[in-house]
Structure 1
Amino acid sequence: MKPESQSAHTEPATSRLQDSSDSTPAASRRDFIKSGSVVSAGVAASLASVRGVHAGETTGSSSGSDQPIRIGLVGAGGRGSGAINDSMSINENIQLVAIADLEEAKLGSLRSAMQKRHDTKTNVADNKMYSGIDGYRRILDDADVDVVLFATPPGFRPQYIMEAVEAGKHVFAEKPTCVDPAGYKVCVAAHEKAEANGTAIVTGTQYRRQTNYVEGIKQIHDGAIGDIISGTARYCSNGIWNRIRKPDQSDTAYQVFNWMHFIWLSGDQIVEQAVHNIDTLNWVMGGPPESAFASGGRFTRPEGSEMWDSMSVDYQYPGNRMISFKCRQIPGAATENSNVIYGTEGTATIHGINKGVEIVDRSGKEIFSMKGDIGAAYQQEHKDLIDSIRNGKPIVELKETAASSLTAVLGRVAAYTGKKVTWDFLTNESKLAMFPEDFDINGPRPESHYAIPGKTKLV
C-alpha cells in the first residue's frame, strides 16, 4: 500500500463489465450513453413489444393481474438476500426466478434460504442460476424476468442499471448508484430512458419510505422550525469487514471480493454507507449543495485498503446555508447516526435506524415526535416498486439517488484533494471516471494507493 497517486482514482470508465474471453474492446461510458448495451440493446425492442413495458401496461407474458411478477436477483450476498427477502415478505404474487453472482456457492445457498422462507414464491430452476462475471447478462437477456434487483458492489451499478433499462426490465438498485461523476451521468441517462420506456427504477434509500422521516421532513417543509439556517449530520460507526485475499485470486478478483476497501468499487464510507444521511440532507434542503470543503484521514484501516476511516465535510447549500457532516468507521469509538436541522423557530433531530424524529421550538418544547421502523421501510420500497408496475405507473427515482450519491462523492473529492469543490465542477467539468476501461476479472490491477490532500489532484 502506498500513499495516493492520482492515477489510482482516475482510470477511464467503461460501459459494462467484459468477459475475460471477450476480445471486443470495452466502450467508454460516454459511448455507452449514446449506444446503449452491446449485449442487451438488441433484444430490447422485441422485449418491449412482447412484454408490455410501456407506460400504462403491466409486464410480460404475465400481463394479467393473476400472473406473478418475475424477479431476477444480481448479487447473492447479504444485501441481495435481504432485498429479495423484503420483496417476497411484503408482496403477493411474485416469484424469484433467476439468480446471478460471481461465486457459484452463493447461488444454491440463497435459493435454499428463500425456499425455506418463501417456498411458493421461489421458482429458480438449476439453469437459471448464473455464476461468473457475466451472469447478470443472462438475466437481462431472459424474457422470463420482469424485474431485476441489483445488489452488486456500487462501482458496477451505473452500467448494470443502464443495460437493464435497455433490455426493458424494471429495476430495483441498491444505494449508492454511482461512485464518480462518470457514473452519475450514466444514471441520469438511464433515468431518462426508463421514463421513455415506461419501466420503473426504485432505489434502496429506505428512509424516503420510513414513516417518521416522511412526516418529520414534511413538518420541516411546512415551516415547523421556520426558515432553515444550518445543520449537522453524523454517520459514525465502528469498523467494517475486511476479507483476506485467497491464494488463487487475481488482483481484480481480489478487489471485487474485498470491494469495500477499493474506491472504484465502493466510493469510500461516505459514499457507500453515509449516503443515507446525505440523501436525507438533500431531501430536507430541496436538492444538492453548491460546494463542499472537507478534511479527514486514516488511522486504523488494514494494509492494502484505500479507504479513509474519517471524513468531515462542510456542505454549502443554496441560500448560504451550511451543513456540517461527519462520518467515520473506527473500532472502539463512539457511534452516532443523526441529522440535526436548525431553523429560525426551532430544531429538528432526525435519527437513523429506529430512534425516531423530534422537533422542538426555540424554548426546547417538543412540538412533534414520531418513532421509526426501518424494517417496514426496507419492505415498503419493494412494495412501492411492484405496485407501481401493476398499476401501470412505474416509479422512476434514479436521478435523486444519483444526485445524493454524487453529493457524497463531492465530499470525498473535496477531502481527498484538500480543495473546495463545487457541484458545477463535478457535474460539468470533472473527468473523474474510476471504472477500469480494460476490466478483466482475471487480470492485474495497479498497486493500490490512498489519497493524500495536497498531492491528490482535482480531476
Structure 2
Amino acid sequence: MSNPTESRPIVDSNSTSANAGKYQEDRRDFIRGSGLMIAGGAIAGASAATKAIASSKQSKLRIAMVGCGRRCRQLLDAMASLDDDAIEITALVDNNRGRAQSAFRSIKSRHPERSADHCNLLTSGGSIRQPLLPQQAWQDVDVVFITTPPVCQPGIAVDAITNHKHVFIEKPMAADLNGLKQVVNASAVAKEQGLTVHVGFQRQYDQRDLDLVAQVQQGGIGDIIYAKSYCNSGSLKKHVARSEKEQLAHWNQFNWTGGDVLLEQHVAGLDVLRRVIGRPLLTAQGQAGWASLSDAELANQQNAVQQSGHQQAGELAFQHQSIEFEFADHVSLISHTRRAAHSWQRTGEWLYGTQGHADFSNGKLFDRSGNVTWQSAEPSASMVATQAQLRAFFASIRHGDAENQVDQASESTLMALLGQRAAQTSKLARMKSLRGELKLA
C-alpha cells in the first residue's frame, strides 16, 4: 500500500509572518478581492492545457477532491462504479486533516485502483481564509471537485479556474449573493478558456425525473397552475459555536457558512420545478423562524457569537420556512422546509395543472380524480443519476467540448436566495432587484 504524501498547512493560522498576514484580512474583503482577481486576471495557457487533455483521451484525468465529508465519499463511490480506468485521485483536501485521512483510507481499502501512487493529503489548518492547495500541488491536477461547505465553494472555484482546472462544484455554489457573484465571474473566465464547469444538480440526469418532465411538457397534466415542494426532516444537534472555526465545523446551522436548508438542500427540488415551470420568476414572500429553540437558547447563541466578534456571521439558520414564489402567468410555487424532531417528515415535489398533477416523489401522473394516468418504469436512484452526470462531465473534458452549467444553476441558487430574503425581511422580494445586485441583468 502506498503512503500519502503529507503536507504541512500552507499557512499556519497562528503565524505572524508577512506572508501569513495577507490571509488575516476580513472575510468579506477576501471574498470581494478574490472575485476581482478572477475577473481581471489573464489565464495564459489554459486553452493549450484543455486541448492537451482532449487530444490524449487515453491519459488519466487527475482529480483533486476539495472537501472530504459525506458528499465527497458519495462521489468517490460513484466514480469507483464507473467503467472508466482513466481517472485517479491525486489530492484529498480538507481543513480537517482527519477527514482527509479518513477519505484516503476509504479509497485505499474500497477503491484502490482510483488512488494515485502518491496521493497528496492537504489541509488549510482550519481557516477558510487560506488557499487550500499550494502552487506545486496544482501541477498534479486536471480536475477539481468542490464539496466543501457553501461558504468555501466560491474561493476554491476561483483558485481552480485561475489555475486552468476543470471544475465540478456542488450545489448551491455559494452561501450568499457575494459568493455567487464570484462563481459567476469565474465561470465567465472558464468559458473563455474552454474549461468544463459542472454543478451538482444531479437530478437533471435522473431518468425518472426526465421522463416525468417529458410527460408534463407533452400536456400530461394540462396547463400548469401551481406547484409545491417540501423539504421536511429531523432536527440538527444543538451547538453553541463561538469562534469562526467552530461555526465552520457546524456550518449547516449558520447563514454565513451554509445559507440555510432552503439554500443548501431544498435548492435541488426548487431547481427541478423551476426548470419544468419554464417561466420567469418574479417575486417571493414568506415567513420563517425557529421551532425547537427557546428564547433563552437563541439569546445564548447570539451572545456567544457577539463575544467572538462575529456578530453578522453568527446568525442562526432558520429551522422552518414557508415561502410562496410567483412566476409569470400567475403560476405559484409553495415551498415548505422544516428541521424539527418528532415532526411529520416529507421531501418531494408536486406540479398541478388543469387536467391533473405530477408527483415527482413517485414518478407518477394523476388525473383530477386521483387516478394514475402514467407511471415511470425507472426507479428512484440518486447514485445512478450521479454516475450519469460524472460520465457526461468526464466526456466533456476528454472530447474538448466544454460544458458550463453555472448560468442555469445560478438561477436556482438565486431563487433560493430570493426566498431567504423574503423570509428574513418579511417583505415582498423581487427577482429584478436581486439580479440588479448580482449584476447579471
Contact 1:130-1:138 at 8 Å conserved across structures: no
Amino acid in the other structure paired with 1:45: A
Contact 1:175-1:205 at 8 Å conserved across structures: yes
2:344 alignment partner, SS class: coil
User: How far is 1:101 from its partner?
Assistant: 0.7
User: How far is 1:390 from its partner?
Assistant: 1.3
Which of 346, 360, 363 pairs up with 2:366? 360
- Aligned ranges 1:271-282 → 2 under 5 Å: 271-282=263-274
Q: Match for residue 100 of structure 2?
A: 107
2:375 alignment partner, SS class: strand
Q: Match for residue 397 of structure 2?
A: 389
Q: Match for residue 228 of structure 1?
A: 224
Contact 1:240-1:329 at 8 Å conserved across structures: yes
Structure 1, residues 251-271: CA drift from partner, whole Å, max 9, x if none? Answer: 111111111111011101111
Distance 2:243 2:100 in 1: 24
Distance 1:206 1:90 in 2: 16
Distance 1:37 1:141 in 2: 23
Q: Match for residue 250 of structure 2?
A: 258
Question: Is 1:74 matched with 2:66?
Answer: yes
Amino acid in the other structure paired with 2:132: Y
Which stretch shifts more, 110-119 or 279-288? 279-288
Amino acid in the other structure paired with 1:137: L
Q: Match for residue 373 of structure 1?
A: 381
- Aligned ranges 1:192-231 → 2 under 5 Å: 192-231=188-227
Contact 1:242-1:258 at 8 Å conserved across structures: no
User: How far is 1:131 from its partner?
Assistant: 4.6
CA separation of 1:171 and 1:314: change in aligned 2, threshold 3 A: same
Which one has the bigger helix percentage? 2
Question: Is 1:176 matched with 2:163?
Answer: no
Q: Match for residue 36 of structure 1?
A: 38
Distance 1:192 1:85 in 2: 31
Amino acid in the other structure paired with 1:154: P
Contact 1:58-1:390 at 8 Å conserved across structures: no
2:343 alignment partner, SS class: coil
User: How far is 1:165 from its partner?
Assistant: 1.6
Q: Match for residue 412 of structure 1?
A: 420
CA separation of 1:363 and 1:120: change in aligned 2, threshold 3 A: same
Question: Is 1:315 matched with 2:325?
Answer: yes
CA separation of 1:37 and 1:323: change in aligned 2, threshold 3 A: closer
Amino acid in the other structure paired with 2:53: T
2:360 alignment partner, SS class: strand
Distance 1:264 1:209 in 2: 30
Task: Compute the TM-score of the two structures, normalised by the length of structure 2.
Answer: 0.83
Distance 2:438 2:410 in 1: 16
Distance 2:432 2:30 in 1: 22
Which of 255, 259, 278 pairs up with 1:267? 259
* Cα RMSD (Å): 2.6
Question: Is 1:23 matched with 2:31?
Answer: no
Contact 2:91-2:119 at 8 Å conserved across structures: no
Structure 2's unaligned 5+ residue stretches are: 1-9, 302-314
Distance 2:151 2:262 in 1: 14
User: How far is 1:366 from its partner?
Assistant: 2.3
Q: Match for residue 59 of structure 1?
A: 53
2:417 alignment partner, SS class: helix
User: How far is 1:34 from its partner?
Assistant: 3.8
Distance 2:120 2:37 in 1: 30
Distance 2:64 2:97 in 1: 16
Q: Match for residue 403 of structure 1?
A: 411
Question: Is 1:337 matched with 2:347?
Answer: yes
Question: Is 1:294 matched with 2:304?
Answer: no
Structure 1, residues 226-245: CA drift from partner, whole Å, max 9, x if none? Answer: 21111111111111345676
User: How far is 1:117 from its partner?
Assistant: 1.5
Structure 1's unaligned 5+ residue stretches are: 1-16, 432-459
Distance 2:11 2:230 in 1: 38
Structure 1, residues 143-179: CA drift from partner, whole Å, max 9, x if none? Answer: 2101101111101212221221221111111111122
Contact 1:47-1:143 at 8 Å conserved across structures: no
Question: Is 1:185 matched with 2:181?
Answer: yes
Q: Match for residue 158 of structure 1?
A: 154
Structure 1, residues 326-355: CA drift from partner, whole Å, max 9, x if none? Answer: 11011110111121111122211111xxxx
Task: Compute the TM-score of the two structures, normalised by the length of structure 1.
Answer: 0.80
Amino acid in the other structure paired with 1:252: E
Amino acid in the other structure paired with 1:150: I
CA separation of 1:230 and 1:389: change in aligned 2, threshold 3 A: same
Contact 1:165-1:194 at 8 Å conserved across structures: yes
User: How far is 1:403 from its partner?
Assistant: 1.6
Question: Is 1:347 matched with 2:363?
Answer: no
Amino acid in the other structure paired with 1:411: G
Q: Relative contact order (C-alpha < 8 Å, sep 6+): which is higher?
A: 1
Amino acid in the other structure paired with 1:101: D
User: How far is 1:48 from its partner?
Assistant: 4.5
1:295 alignment partner, SS class: strand
Which of 102, 107, 119 pairs up with 2:112? 119
Amino acid in the other structure paired with 2:233: S
User: How far is 1:321 from its partner?
Assistant: 0.9
Distance 1:283 1:417 in 2: 27
Distance 1:85 1:286 in 2: 33
CA separation of 1:142 and 1:319: change in aligned 2, threshold 3 A: same
Distance 1:288 1:140 in 2: 45
Distance 2:199 2:337 in 1: 22
